[in-house]
Structure formats: structure tokens, C-alpha cells
């Protein structure tokens, strides 16, 4: 093709047909420009297709993270329900005229079971979008706004949950307590580690258990444990609703990308 155009140019020049040569040269330039524009258009189209494909992939990855969050939230709600049940049992024990250290210790441990385990959302996809500067790839502005609002809202709820967890732990491990009278030495975690060949465990049993002061403190703690667990359960239920809304939005996008 190049040789063909070269022969035409040479023939026009040799025949001294300058006007026709100029028209031919202009036409050749136009053809080159059109070729370049077509190539650029195809390249732009390919790049746009890659961006759309990446955008659709992000929607599905975000949905995968949310599906994991939904499972974790369900576990947290169930765990808080266990703690609430144990707190109610502890209160009922303390309302009896007589009770044992073991009854109290078992119920107390159940009341704070895994209280420091808080929900950590799966952020792999969202962090990847932000760190790679690809947030602009999400063309659906409504979804982008909803995602940012969702993660900000979840972070705020987690902060409140952490405060409640800290309060529970501060109370449970308050060093002003009499841990012997509270019966820590007979807890399922501590008792097996006591070397009874050198420790007289019977000597650790307090006389006149429980004291009036201890009973008052235990009841106060039990109510506090119940309150913090109830608050956390409430917040996790709110999170669960937010996750379901976000799942619904992203599932529609993810499905459409697979069709």
C-alpha cells in the first residue's frame, strides 16, 4: 500500500502536476489523521471497557466483604445474647438468700465472655479502591455516597461498642476488688492451674460469704454487664440492618455485571 501511494506521488511530480499533487498530499494527510483518530478511538474504547470491567469487579468484591460482615455480625449478636442470659442468671442468683461462690463465678464469667471481641468489618475491597485511587471508577454516585456513608456509620458504632467493652473489662478487672472473696481461684480457668501440692485451696474459702459489701458490688456489676451487653446487641442489630441494605444495593450491581 505504501509503495502504491509512493508511485502515485512520483508520477504526479514527474508529470509536473503540482495542483493534483497538493490535493493528493492533503488527502493523504487526512487519511493519516483519520487513521490516528480511529486508533485513538479504539484505544479509548478498550480503556473504557477495562475501567467498566474493573468497576463491576469491585462491586462483587465489596459484596463478598459484606457477606463476611453479615456472618460476623450474626455471631456477635448471638454472643451478646449469651452474655445477657448469663447476666440475668447472675442477678437471679444474687437475689437468693443463699448462693455459692461457684454459682457466682460461673455466671460472672459468662457475663463477660468474649466481651473484648468486637466486630471488625472486612475492608479489603474498599481499602483497595481508595489506596489505588480507583474510587472515581465507581460511576454510580448514589452507590459511592452510600458506601462512604455506610463505612463511616459503622466506624462510629464500633467506637461506641468499644467503649462499652472497655467499661465491662474495667469493672471485671478492678484491682480494688477482693478476688479471693469473689472466688476467682475456683474459676474454670484458674483452678486447674493451682498447684494443690503447695497451695491450700481450702484456706482460700472466705468465712461468712458473701459479705454485704460484696453482694452489693456483685449486683451492681451484674446490672452493668447486662446493660453493656444489651447496648452492644442493640448496636449490632442496627449494623445488621445497614449491612442488609448495602448487600441489596451491591447484589443488584453484581448480578447485572455477570449477565
Q: For 43-87, what is each residue's pLDDT tens digit?
A: 666 666 666 777 888 889 999 999 999 999 999 999 999 999 999
Q: Is the pLDDT of residue 7 over 70?
A: no
Predicted confidence band at 201 (pLDDT cuts at 50, 70, 90)? confident
Q: What pLDDT, on a 0 to 100 scale, did the predictor assign at position 6?
A: 56
In the chain, domain spans: 54-258
Q: What pLDDT, on a 0 to 100 scale, did the predictor assign at position 10?
A: 56
Q: What pLDDT, on a 0 to 100 scale, did the predictor assign at position 158?
A: 94
Give the residue ranges of DSSP H helices in the chain.
2-14, 18-94, 101-111, 124-131, 141-172, 179-182, 212-258
Which of the listed ranges 132-136, 186-190, 236-240 does the model predict with the highest average pLDDT? Answer: 236-240
Distances in whole angstroms, Cα of residue 30 to Cα of each of 1, 4, 5, 102, 212: 16, 17, 14, 94, 100
Q: Is the pLDDT of residue 185 over 70?
A: yes
- Closest to 114 in 3D by CA, of 152, 143, 72: 72
- Closest to 101 in 3D by CA, of 206, 220, 221: 206
Predicted confidence band at 129 (pLDDT cuts at 50, 70, 90)? confident
Predicted confidence band at 176 (pLDDT cuts at 50, 70, 90)? confident
Q: What pLDDT, on a 0 to 100 scale, did the predictor assign at position 11?
A: 57
Amino acid at each position: 500500500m505504501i509503495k502504491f501511494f509512493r508511485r502515485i506521488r512520483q508520477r504526479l511530480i514527474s508529470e509536473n502536476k503540482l495542483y493534483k499533487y497538493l490535493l493528493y498530499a492533503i488527502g493523504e494527510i487526512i487519511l493519516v489523521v483519520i487513521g490516528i483518530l480511529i486508533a485513538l478511538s479504539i484505544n479509548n474504547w478498550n480503556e473504557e471497557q477495562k475501567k467498566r470491567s474493573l468497576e463491576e469487579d469491585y462491586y462483587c468484591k465489596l459484596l463478598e466483604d459484606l457477606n463476611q460482615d453479615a456472618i460476623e455480625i450474626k455471631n456477635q449478636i448471638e454472643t451478646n445474647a449469651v452474655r445477657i442470659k448469663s447476666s440475668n442468671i447472675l442477678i437471679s442468683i444474687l437475689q437468693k438468700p443463699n448462693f455459692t461462690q461457684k454459682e457466682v463465678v460461673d455466671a460472672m464469667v459468662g457475663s463477660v465472655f468474649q466481651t473484648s471481641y468486637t466486630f471488625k468489618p472486612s475492608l479489603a475491597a474498599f481499602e483497595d479502591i481508595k489506596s489505588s485511587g480507583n474510587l472515581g471508577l465507581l460511576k454510580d454516585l448514589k452507590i459511592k455516597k452510600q458506601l462512604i456513608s455506610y463505612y463511616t456509620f459503622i466506624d462510629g458504632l464500633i467506637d461506641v461498642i468499644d467503649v462499652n467493652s472497655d467499661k465491662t473489662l474495667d469493672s471485671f478487672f478492678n484491682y480494688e476488688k477482693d478476688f479471693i472473696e469473689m472466688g476467682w481461684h475456683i474459676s474454670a480457668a484458674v483452678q486447674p492451674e493451682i498447684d494443690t501440692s503447695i497451695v491450700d485451696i481450702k484456706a482460700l474459702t472466705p468465712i461468712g460469704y458473701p459479705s454485704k459489701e460484696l453482694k452489693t458490688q456483685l449486683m451492681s456489676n451484674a446490672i452493668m454487664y447486662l446493660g453493656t451487653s444489651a447496648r452492644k446487641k442493640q448496636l449490632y442489630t442496627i449494623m445488621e440492618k445497614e449491612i442488609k441494605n448495602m448487600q441489596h444495593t451491591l447484589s443488584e450491581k453484581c448480578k447485572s455485571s455477570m449477565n
